[in-house]
Amino acid sequence: MWTYEKRLQYPVNIKNTNAKTAKFIMSQFGGPDGELAASMRYLSQRYTMPYKEVTGILTDIGTEELAHMEIVSAIIYQLTKNLTIDEIKAQGFETYFVDHTLGLWPQAASGMPFTSTFFQSKGDPITDLHEDMAAEQKARTTYDNILRMVKDPDVADPIRFLRAREIAHYQRFGESLRIVQDHLDSKNFYAFNPEFDK
């Protein structure tokens, strides 16, 4: 089970609203390389993972991603708080507003809705860990792209924190892959699938 702590993993205190910025940062909430997809990916993969270190990593990173989803959500919420209709129209937020008002809904920057097709749970630890390492790099690139467009330090600061976590997670998944391979036939890692062939 999970327990909610009434605090953010990293603080978000944005003074100036900006719906244009909110519209693309939203991709890290519900987009293809976003935090919701990350959390669901790792928490789905962990059940059949046969090695306790890696089950631990999937559980703990999957949990941290929920905290990251909350940070991204807090950024979107604060960037769009109390917007007027004139601001919504001037800042290109009307296509979102018409469906969701100022409520948060997981979608990509393009408007594509969140879907579990953004991630895979393949039932093979080598395959899944390669997916996980790629996912961390894709999220890191997305944060890099966001940082190219965001100039407000109140927004860029928590985004930089999230970007740094992608790199730490990538490192831990790399170690996890090594742990998995240490359990396998060093001449042929693919001789059998330890999640299926016993």
Query: Considering the complex, what minimum distance in angstroms separates the CB of residue 180 from other proteins?
Result: 11
DSSP state of 113: B
> According to CB under 8 A, which one of 1, 6, 182, 188 is a site residue for other proteins?
6
Residues paired with 113 in a beta bridge: 107
Phi, psi angle pair for 113, to nearest 5°: -70, 155
Question: What CA–CA distance (Å, rounded) separates 184 from 174?
Answer: 16
- Of the candidates 20, 47, 53, 190, which one interacts with other proteins according to CB under 8 A? 53
Nearest 5°: the CA angle 13, 95, 38 is: 55
Does residue 25 belong to the site contacting other proteins (CB under 8 A)?
no
Other beta carbons within 10 angstroms of residue 144's beta carbon come to 12
Taking CB under 8 A as the criterion, the residue among 1, 4, 117, 187 binding other proteins is 4
Near other proteins by CB under 8 A: residue from 13, 16, 110, 145: 13
Type of residue at 80: T
Applying CB under 8 A, the residues found at the interface with other proteins are 3-14, 53, 56-57, 60-61, 64, 67, 70, 73-74, 77-78, 168-169, 172, 175-176, 179
